[in-house]
Amino acid sequence: MKLLHTLAILSLTLITASANIHDDIRQLSREKFKLTLQTGKIFSKHQLHENAEYEKLQSASLAASREYNQTRRAHPTLKPLYAKSDATQKKMIQARMNKDREASSAATREFTQIRMEIEKTAASIPELKAAQQKAIDANTAAEAKKLELLQTVPEGKAHAEKIEALDAKITELRKQMKLTKP
């Protein structure tokens, strides 16, 4: 009985630790997002976005993301879910335009459920993996170049170091949780 009690306490402790790590990841991701928004201002101020290699990588990233999304939308398994999602989104927009909070909330909940179902289903379709990986790789290359360009200006260098530190912390916490990058 004492062993069972100890195991129960241990599992509750692990669950609590797990929840805390998820909260930490969420908080660090928010901080990174805020820094990323500021990155745009630094990029614009120093005209770093005009770098030819960055423009090429950014364009490739957008094209790969667009291709992945088109591939997903065209997949026979996901097509009906996307049709349902689009119809629900129209209901949601209409309810907001009519200032009908109750209908808007209901449509938003339904839309969220459908989108979660799309993500879950898409994750289980092997044919989509290649397009998804191509989009991830292209985005990673563009982000790496962006951080490299930030390093070329003093204000950006400190900013890039903060982003890299947050990435390292998030990666470490994900390893502790055995989570993959979203």
Residue at 179 is within a domain: no
Residue at 12 is within a domain: no
Whole domain around residue 106: which residue ranges? 77-124
Span 33-60, pLDDT tens digits: 888 888 888 988 999 989 999 999 999 9
Residue at 113 is within a domain: yes
User: How much is the pLDDT for 179?
Assistant: 55
pLDDT under 50: residue ranges of the chain: 1-19
Residue at 104 is within a domain: yes
- State the total domains in the chain: 1
Residue at 159 is within a domain: no
Residue at 108 is within a domain: yes
Residue at 92 is within a domain: yes
User: How much is the pLDDT for 20?
Assistant: 61
Q: Is the pTM of this model over 0.85?
A: no
Residue at 85 is within a domain: yes
Residue 165 DSSP one-character state: H
Which own/partner contact pairs does 128-132 have at CB distance under 8 Å and 24+ positions apart? Answer: 128/68, 128/71, 128/72, 128/75, 131/64, 131/67, 131/68, 131/71, 131/72, 132/68
